Structure 1
């Protein structure tokens, strides 16, 4: 039993049963050990979940590193979004862990900043200002996370057309929004 093996087992357990099922006791049972043995390798459940998030973010970052080279603009946008959705579908518990709020030092040491840089690079292809790149990355993240969460929760199971068709339309809409980005956004307080 090592910290790395515990984190890998936590990621597998999260995929099988959900992130909420990950506990020190559950991991101890997987290894046929007592919880105290697990604690000798990890400094508690929060630390284990942080490491599981880092594990998932690295996997996702590695997937993006394989997927994005040679792509730009719309092609890169679709590749980036599809990699996220594919990862979430293949690894639902790890995906949930990747969305976990991490302490600033843990987040900085994760692959999260690499993923963010990849998203910002895609936005640069649309000719956005540095400030608008931030807004655009948030739009893309909201579209990806919202769609993936609804899909995982069965929100698209009871109607046609298939979710894959809607996914392509959502990405088309994001691409169109990025190509026609407004010069200045309306104040949130002025929207009624």
Structure 2
């Protein structure tokens, strides 16, 4: 990923475990995005948090120390969620055990999907995809896109940013 470019990003939980069925872990994602936006490391144009994955349309603005903001995002969300699992749900933790030299547990699958948004059509198609994701037959998490709390759809339908970190993609055009 390059700084200043807009990407459609998919992060999938290891083995498709539905860790984000628990709202407190969705809040970790929201809080981490807000922190990175407030520190001017990223710009978030659209998002959805699904039970076992998330999609973002975002832009890396500035490195976070020596690493790209997406690496900081993955590292911080993993750390926070594993800290909570250790204390409150130790029986769940073994599902995330790995035998890597660099870590004992892995929340996110390796190699997230990152697609450069180099045309307006592609950008709008991916944002529609993000907002429609909770309505898919496989999930049926809501009846209308703007009813799903863990998405930017309500922002685009009503102009209300309940998360206080979204930027309207139309500002890019």
TM-score by length of 1: 0.28
Higher relative contact order (CA 8 A, sep 6+): 2
Q: Give 1 or 2 for the bigger CA radius of gyration.
A: 1
TM-score by length of 2: 0.30
In terms of fraction of residues, the more helix-rich structure is 1
